[in-house]
A and B are shown apart, each in its own frame.
Chain A
């Protein structure tokens, strides 16, 4: 019995750390609607700064003072980031802030290694909380008890702050309706800044408090960020109490789950999130999201098919791309194949995200399923390459059909998080089911047959498929189905009122996007000759999002350009420097600030300006990029 009590208390201590970080994220999202990917980075910087301070300041006061000082210091960094970076892009398309904070995270990961060195740092234990307390023969670390008390205390302070102060009232009002606060004449800028500061403070404090029990290192952020997002979503976005309950739920399920299934930890939070979202689409304590009002300045150029001149230009670009093997070496051709494959991947997500308005955070699942599909068919069934390429993507198609059915019942961030949960579930199956998938050691030896074996042949294959896929998806944008899909994105109310079953349209789009991603994955398996769980992983899903956002989410051809630029740059950078994340992160942030509509969005805007100031007809030359597919 004593054991179960202690296990429960241990779970509570884990929950407290999780809650601190999650509450900050929840507040930030609730008010600013920013999906703050950098929250983990702030948590990590909090831990690093606290480590430095605790090593220098002695005594109990020095230790606890360091915790608070570190959190304040990081909050100030947060303020700086908000004012310099985020303020510029509140009116950018939704999720663009995700791109900005992703860039920041990349930079921070390299920066902490530059500043604090590569070694794991182990800090001091907390004065007065070094030992354990005996509970009927079981030991409970006193620091755990401290955390168990701290969690509800922080919850209480936040509650008072929100209920009893004018600032809190404004924050709650803004969480419910942003426009209303603006209408009340509140200085929205400073409200957002202060909310961001508080959220970052909580993250940094959560990081600092890990000093006595964890090691400080440069991968801490990734370790926590996804988990924290999951907790926030399970609890209901913007709900502090929800975050607390979810943190306790997840931690306790883990504490007791490992007693029965020792391997459950790897997937537990995602299982819980998937179940919660299917049963309660807005999380445990969340409220249905008010339908998003269009941000001003968002009205886009009406999409139109390419004119015949533009088609010729696109064809010319394709022909030029096809001549690459005449002058480029094998390495350039292989990189070219990889870029072509990522074009397929990016346009498939773009179809779902830009045309359908459904931003998937787990799109790599279908890419990876396509890759595994090929690997199974080639290695186990020994089928010829062409058959594998045709049938492999069906695994992506099936995955998308099953998961998509549940996912399209939701929208917005909840849709995104459910797709993430599904992707993680697929990932963990690939990772765990060693006898079939080879686990993390993957499936090797999936090399192309002779006819496609040479780099130039494979390049032509990849380029050809990429061109076909891009043309097909583009045709679909301008097909009756594409119109219906765009209609569901713009107004669900109206689509239902004109006889359209919106969920079925969205589900179909999900399956199309998943199958297309699977085609990319199938080619990728042959390009690399092997398949690993990485191919389904979060970082690949994030890559896809970045490519679409970088190109411009409101454009038809942004994904193509985004994929080419992002992939080429990241391959080049990783080859040139160990600090590729630092440079890439800086580049992304620069793009976000300079081109808030993405690269292609920016070019279109320029082209439009020129068209307005010059006689019609000259616009063609200004848009070569859009036609470059």
Chain B
């Protein structure tokens, strides 16, 4: 069934070509870019999320009476192709703003493009701190809680653990490196007594899990920080379970509580890991209930974190456009800075100081329930509480 829909979609896209995109002049167009073909597992729920948002916005009368149209492009996972797509959206389609992106380097590439071409860009998923700090620019905003924020949330819980000997396992690229660096820095500030006994850097997507698990075990840490995700995480968990790496050791893990990463583990889900994530099944707030109901009604499927990000990205874009009452990038920036809006996770604000939203994340523990992994004891951590002081941010961010 799924296959057929794809084929029909592809054929339609090919045949209709530009026609499908030719919106009426009064419509407001948003350009959206993501790694649909490279990372379908994350971008499919994400796409469903933003499609739901578009539907809701237009059902409610659009943006200041104008219909919202999202034109979406695949970047194939390559920064250079993302820029070509961005260029097409801006030059050819005349979109009011750019949104989207998943991988950090693509987020940065599009952000740099936006800065150069003076286009408003709302980065959805890339986690690197550079997007809003060291390489931040006037035109770029970011929705999802950054690496730093998630690290700070985890450190809060990790610092309470008695463990003193820590080992780290992280994918060998910027995301893994900076996640470990921030975690170590914040952790060592709170717990000067901690020792870092081993670090493993498997290449992203190519972990040789057996030797890695064995090497970590040999260092005999009391606790482990994990930053791997996706297929690497599956291999790591399976090897770790079989070899007893996690027995009697605390594990703190980035992102593992997100359904995208937790669900594939099924009955192999390790218990008691402290993780950030999205326990959609246990969030009981009216905002989230409304989202969940609408999502399940439309797709007959449960949301992943990507669904939230996709949904909120377009909701935020619409809110910014509505407030600005214009598609002029400078007016959009003015409108976005300090703008607060509702989200399925509660109210969020785009900070004026660094253009980071205060969307937070859930921190909890992994558990096994009916042969499936879940997050228990989850608590929502507001993004605003885990950002450095304004003075520090000023130092991190280049002057516009």
Contact = CB atoms under 8 A, between A and B. Distances in A.
Contacts of A447: 116
A122 B78 contact: no
Interface string B12-44: 011001000000000000000000111011011
B53 interface: no
A118 B40 CA distance: 5
A490 interface: no
Interface string A425-447: 00000011010000111101101
Contacts of A3: 214, 218
A445 B3 contact: no
Interface residues of B, number: 78
B73 A139 contact: no
Nearest to A222: B205
Contact of A265 (B10, B174, B201): B201
B318 interface: no
Interface centre among B91, B104, B128, B235 (most CB of A within 10 A): B91
28 contacts: A10-B210, A14-B210, A117-B2, A120-B231, A141-B210, A143-B242, A213-B209, A214-B234, A215-B231, A217-B230, A219-B38, A254-B211, A255-B214, A258-B200, A259-B215, A266-B203, A330-B91, A331-B87, A441-B105, A441-B108, A442-B79, A447-B116, A528-B80, A532-B79, A539-B78, A574-B81, A578-B36, A583-B10
Contact of B74 (A331, A445, A578): A578
A578 B234 contact: no
Contacts of A259: 215, 218
B208 A255 contact: yes
Interface in A475-504: none
A120 B84 contact: no
Interface of A: 3, 6-7, 10-11, 13-14, 110, 113-115, 117-122, 130-132, 138-141, 143-144, 212-215, 217-220, 223, 227, 251, 254-255, 258-259, 262-263, 265-266, 329-332, 334-335, 338, 431-432, 434, 439-442, 444-445, 447, 455, 524, 528-530, 532, 534-535, 539, 571, 574-583
A441 B202 contact: no
B92 A119 contact: no
Given A3-B218, A120-B231, 8 more contacts: A14-B211, A122-B234, A141-B239, A255-B210, A330-B87, A441-B108, A574-B76, A578-B36
B396 to A, nearest CB: 15
Contacts of A115: 3
B112 A445 contact: yes
Interface stretch (B152-160, B261-269, B340-348, B351-359): B261-269
B210 A144 contact: yes
A212 B79 CA distance: 34
B325 interface: no
B87 A219 contact: no
A574 B17 contact: no
B113 A439 contact: no
A549 to B, nearest CB: 21
B87 to A, nearest CB: 5
A214 B208 CA distance: 10
Contact of A442 (B3, B105, B209, B214): B105
A11 B76 CA distance: 34
Contacts, number: 226
Nearest to B104: A441
A546 B40 CA distance: 25
Contact of B105 (A440, A445, A524): A440
B61 interface: no
Given A262-B200, A265-B202, A530 B37 contact: no
Given A215-B231, A441-B105, A532-B80, A119 B242 contact: no
Contacts of B14: 576-577, 583
B41 A258 contact: no
B83 interface: yes
Contacts of A138: 214, 217
A576 B17 contact: yes
Nearest to B87: A334
B244 A132 contact: yes
A65 B377 CA distance: 42
B235 to A, nearest CB: 5
A432 B203 CA distance: 11
Given A110-B37, A132-B242, A262 B201 contact: yes
B173 interface: yes
Contact of A530 (B79, B104, B230, B234): B79
Contacts of B185: none
Contact of B201 (A213, A263, A445): A263
B256 to A, nearest CB: 13
B193 to A, nearest CB: 24
Contacts of A334: 84, 87, 91
B41 A120 contact: yes
A581 B105 CA distance: 22
Nearest to B232: A215
A525 to B, nearest CB: 10
Contacts of B75: 574
Interface string B106-149: 00110111011000000000001010000100000000000000
Contact of A139 (B3, B44, B78, B244): B244
Central interface residue in A11, A139, A141, A440, by most chain B CB within 10 Å: A440
Please indicate which of the listed interface residues A141, A212, A332, A441 has the most CB atoms of chain B within 10 Å of its own CB: A441
Interface in B215-239: 215, 217-218, 230-231, 234-235, 238-239
Contacts of A445: 112, 115-116
A581 B109 CA distance: 23
A11 B215 CA distance: 12
B79 A534 contact: yes
B205 A223 contact: yes
B339 interface: no
Contacts of A431: 173
B91 A331 contact: yes
Contact of A534 (B78, B208, B268): B78
A14 B112 contact: no
Contacts of B83: 528-530
B51 interface: no
B188 interface: no
Contact of A10 (B17, B104, B214): B214
Nearest to A122: B264
Interface in B31-79: 36-38, 40-41, 43-44, 73-76, 78-79
Contacts of B109: 442, 444, 528, 530, 532
Given A254-B211, A578-B10, A335 B113 contact: no
B235 A215 contact: yes
Contacts of B200: 258, 262
Q: Across the A-B interface, give the 7 residue pairs with the lowest CB-CB distance, nearest first.
A: A118-B40, A215-B234, A331-B91, A330-B91, A331-B92, A255-B211, A10-B210
Contacts of B266: 122
B85 interface: yes
Given A6-B214, A118-B41, A215-B231, A444 B243 contact: no
Contacts of B74: 574-575, 577-578, 580
B177 interface: yes
Nearest to B111: A444
B212 interface: yes
A589 to B, nearest CB: 17
B366 to A, nearest CB: 15
Interface string B359-372: 00000000000000
Nearest to B20: A576
B172 interface: yes
Contacts of A254: 208, 211
A189 B74 CA distance: 42
Contacts of A132: 242-244
Nearest to B75: A574
With most chain B CB atoms within 10 A of its CB, the pick from A110, A266, A338, A447 is A266
Contacts of B330: none
Given A121-B264, A132-B243, A571-B84, A581 B7 contact: no
